[in-house]
Amino acid sequence: SGLKCNTSLPVAMGFMLVGLPYSISLAAQWLYGWPNKPGYKKYMEALKPRIYCLTRAVLETLKYLQYGRLYFQWKSWYKNDKNREHYEKGITFGRRGNKLDLYHPPNVDRSKDVPSPLVVFIYGGAWGSGDRSIYCLLARQMAEELSATVICPDYFTYPKANVLGMVQDIADCLIWARESGEKFNFDKDNIVLIGHSAGAHLCALTTLFLIDAREELFIEVSIQRDIILAIRGVILSGVYNIMDHYEHEQKRAVEYVSTMHKAMNGVENFPYYSPTHILEKFSQDKLSRVPPFALLHGTSDIIVPVESSMKFSELLTSLSIKVSLFLLPKVDHTEIVTDLMASDRHFYHPIYSCIKQEYKRLLGTY
pLDDT of residue 4: 47
pLDDT of residue 30: 67
AA letter at 142: M
- Rounded to the nearest 10°, the torsion over CA 333, 34, 274, 133 is -50
pLDDT of residue 100: 98
Q: Is the dihedral of CA 133, 303, 246, 234 positive or negative?
A: positive
Q: What is the mean pLDDT of residues 59-68?
A: 81
Percent of the chain with pLDDT over 90: 74
pLDDT of residue 366: 65
CA-wise closest residue to 272 among 242, 316, 251, 227: 242
Higher pLDDT, 336 or 57: 336
Q: What is the mean pLDDT of residues 258-277?
A: 96
Q: What is the mean pLDDT of residues 186-209?
A: 98
Q: Is the dihedral of CA 266, 269, 270, 275 positive or negative?
A: negative
pLDDT of residue 342: 95
Confidence of residue 27 (pLDDT cuts 50, 70, 90): confident
Preceding peptide of 305 cis, ω within 30°: no
Residue 118 pairs in a beta bridge with 149, 191
All structural domains of the chain? 2-60 (no CATH), 80-363 (3.40.50.1820)
pLDDT of residue 3: 44
pLDDT of residue 18: 56
Residues 6+ apart with CB under 8 A from 93: 99, 100, 153, 172, 173, 175, 176
pLDDT of residue 22: 64
Higher pLDDT, 66 or 181: 181
How are beta strands 293-298 and 186-197 bridged, if at all? Answer: unpaired
Confidence of residue 116 (pLDDT cuts 50, 70, 90): very high
Q: What is the mean pLDDT of residues 12-25?
A: 60
pLDDT in tens, 200-250: 999 999 999 999 999 999 999 999 999 999 999 999 999 999 999 999 999
Q: What is the mean pLDDT of residues 355-364?
A: 95
pLDDT of residue 206: 98
pLDDT of residue 1: 52
pLDDT of residue 315: 98
Residue 326 pairs in a beta bridge with 296
Task: Look at residue 5 and tell me whether its pLDDT is greater than 60.
Answer: no
Higher pLDDT, 274 or 41: 274
Identify the weakest region by mean pLDDT among 34-48, 88-102, 155-169, 218-232: 34-48
Task: Look at residue 321 and tell me whether its pLDDT is greater than 50.
Answer: yes
pLDDT in tens, 323-354: 999 999 999 999 999 999 999 999 999 999 99
pLDDT in tens, 290-299: 999 999 999 9
